[in-house]
Amino acid sequence: MLRPTSARIPANAAVQTRSAVPCGVLVTPLSPSPPPRSTLAFEASLPPAALASYKSAAATTSTAIPRCTACRAYIGAACNMNARYWACAICSQRNTLPTRYSPILLAPPEALHIVPELSRHLYDLPVENIITPPPTAYIFLVDANGDQPFMDAARKAIRQALLSIQGVSIVGIMLYDHNVTLLDLRAEILRHFSPQDPSLNASHVFPPDQWFRTTNNQTVSKIVSMLAKFRAKEHAQVSAPTKSALGTAVKAALDMIETAQLLAARVLVLAATEPNFGDGAIQHASHPLPDDQQHPPKPLTRFYEQAGVRANLLGAMFDVYISSKTPVHVASLAPLAQISGGRLTMYESGEESLSADVWQHLNDPAVVRGLLRVRTSSCIPVADVYGCGVYQDSEVPEVYRLSCHGHTSTLAVEFRASEESPPANVRFASVQVAFQGVFIEPGSLPQRVLRVQTQSYALTGSGSVIRKEADSNAIATMLFHQAIATADEKSIGAARMLLFDWLANLFFRAAKKAEAGDTPGIDGNLTRYPALQPVPRLIFGLIRSFLFRQEPVDPDSRAALRCIWEDLSPELLAAAAYPRLYSFLNLHEKNNHELPLSSAAVKECGHPIFLLDAFSDVVIFYATSSRKDLQYPPPESSVVMRVRGQCVRDRPVAPKCVVCREGTPKDRWFKSFLIEDPLPGAAAQSFSAFIQGVADAAEGMLQSSKKQ
């Protein structure tokens, strides 16, 4: 769950400055727990009474976990302990150990692994529930203004979703246009209410006890057939301008969730048009200004931000899927998904992957009503927390509220090294993350769970050591979140400058010294720091991305891309910022080295087949030098296709897969990702020119420091 930007922590602020490496950790709340050490053989060797005694010592709920009396941190494997006391890993406070643990600590060391809270750095425990929680609700909000392909894709997606949530779940379906229509699945009738009638509450029109429970394929078919009838009946003849009351449908869904007093809910919005009627209608200026390319797109209404906050507090997660042939102002809708912990996905060329994405998202792990607390040693206090939809609790500033989904959902926690070094006998700094929320699993009752992880990292007074043990992908992820915050506060240009200046400072701090036996000066290749060598290309990729590039970008594309990238793990973000390029000697033999993203590298390589993984796109490219005996497209049994399968596995969105030959119209997919080449007639530099500019800036810093 925790991943530091470097395996070493700076002993003070001066060391952090000299290292040029951001100090912090990435938090992945839903990362899979590591498998426990096997104790089966040891348990089999124990007398039944002893085994029962050891197992009874383990905490069964979160309230039974020992906590520090000073800082309230939880016990963990990073804590020193004996049969009577344990020392807090965060503040070193000595605490009394509950007597139930004494037999474990006096037994052979293998016995400790029977008790997770004593033997593991990361452990999960259920939070005690007084009553059985109500089932999870799944609500579908479907835009009735969509054309026939959209409605067909929506029905297919809903069918896939219902098949995956069969069991202990309840379902509600609404369609919206100028009215909001609720499907009463038991009576097989439609219930309408108008956005213009504020006295009419959706929970009165459609009480929660009339929602349908998913139990078998027959009920799924019944729901899908009702959707088909509604489409044919209501939209056979449409001539008036479309009206879209999405905001009213969102409010109705939240009203029903609140009235039913649900613990958890998933709401899936399938949108085809911009909301322009009722609550949450997006009002454009009568004389629209040209697109502002200097700042991220801003919401035109706060309705969806406020709805997202309400959804977060009610335990409702909104996933928004947009397939529209016209602009929908994604920036206004995005806060609904981001703050509630859901995803926003925009389809620019059809809805082919809609059903696959819906199925994947519903089967990913998800948590609502999440509370995050980060505790640290006094030498590295928390400076800021970045992430998609995370915000401070209004009553307890040290607690952050968030809902999240998927194993890859990642937050960034930045530390600020203290001015003074800790005492000489303090050699480690510790970080503990406690995350509590309601875990949702399709077909099962929601369960409140606490996850705790505690890690200790060695302190160092050497900036060079921090650079040598740095994590390039973690650093790029931290800088990405800082750049997003800078773009929001200042401008996109300021975000680009932040990334450029940071890289120049890294080159300056990593400059070769004369006493090291090398030629002194700026080293743009970072030859002494192999761990940092991927960083320049990652920074270059971020600057050239649709989020930060200087060239004009469609506002909806920029806002939708941000929703996806802000939630990615370091490896996926690295692939999105600087795609991976592999070459193949033939269909069954892969070159082990990744290639730079340049046409020169492709040409010099001389191999006939290439595979480019850009996270949301996977392109297989046949060069003109390909032998005639190489089958096109590659067969499923080939190594090329197996590598493609590995690339697309477990992605939060289904990547677009393209196979093309050089010299055909489709080869633009491949060439558009060769970002190290300069763009003709654009302000974007080639990678070599970019690195030269960074090195020149670093050289200026070096000369200035010599004068001082």
Least confident of 224-233, 517-526, 542-551: 224-233
Measure the N-to-C terminal CA separation of the chain; round to a whole number of Å. Answer: 43
Q: 85-87 and 656-661: which strand pairing?
A: unpaired
469 CB-near residues (< 8 Å, 6+ apart): 6, 7, 8, 531
% pLDDT > 70, the chain? 90
User: Which architecture characterizes domain 136-363 according to CATH?
Assistant: 3-Layer(aba) Sandwich (3.40)
How confident is the model over 280-293, as a mean pLDDT?
69
The model's pLDDT over 397-455, given as tens digits with 9 standing for 90+, comes to 899 999 999 888 999 999 999 999 888 888 999 999 999 999 998 878 899 999 999 99
The pLDDT tens digits for 621-640 are: 999 766 777 899 999 999 99
Calpha distance 153→148 (Å, rounded):
9
The CATH code for residues 579-671 is: 3.40.20.10
Residues of the chain with CATH 2.30.30.380: 40-119
Residue 236's contacts (CB-CB under 8 Å, 6 or more residues apart) are none
Kindly report, residue by residue over 564-597, the tens digit of the pLDDT. Answer: 999 999 999 999 999 999 999 999 999 989 999 9
pLDDT 10s digits, 317-333: 999 999 988 889 999 99
What pLDDT is attached to residue 232?
42
Q: 40-119 has which CATH code?
A: 2.30.30.380
Nearest CA among 437, 434, 427, 428 for reference residue 453: 434
| Burial of residue 242, with CB atoms counted within 10 A of its CB: 0-12 exposed, 13-18 middle, 19 or more buried | middle
- DSSP secondary structure code for residue 638 in this structure: S
In sequence order, the β-bridge partners of residue 366 are 405, 440
Residue 623 contacts residue 662 (beta carbons within 8 Å): yes
User: In 522-638, which residue ranges form alpha helices assigned H by DSSP?
Assistant: 535-544, 555-565, 570-577, 599-605
Q: CATH 3.40.20.10 occupies which residues in the chain?
A: 579-671
The pLDDT, as a whole number, for residue 653 is 83
> 471-565+684-708 is classed in which CATH architecture?
Up-down Bundle (1.20)
Residue 498 predicted with pLDDT over 70: yes
Amino acid in position 465: V
Average pLDDT of the segment spanning 98-112: 86
Residues of the chain with CATH 1.20.120.730: 471-565+684-708
DSSP string, 210-253: GSEEP-SHHHHHHHHHHHHHHHHHHSSS--SPP---HHHHHHHH
Please name the residue ranges forming H helices in 120-216: 148-164, 202-205
Determine whether 297 is exposed, middle or buried from the number of CB atoms within 10 Å of its CB (0-12, 13-18, 19+).
Answer: buried
Predicted confidence band of residue 195 (pLDDT cuts 50, 70, 90): low
**What pLDDT was estimated at residue 517?**
55
Q: What are phi and psi of 600, to 5 degrees?
A: -65, -40
- Provide the pLDDT for residue 188: 64
| pLDDT given for residue 499 in this prediction | 97
d(CA 91, CA 378): 8
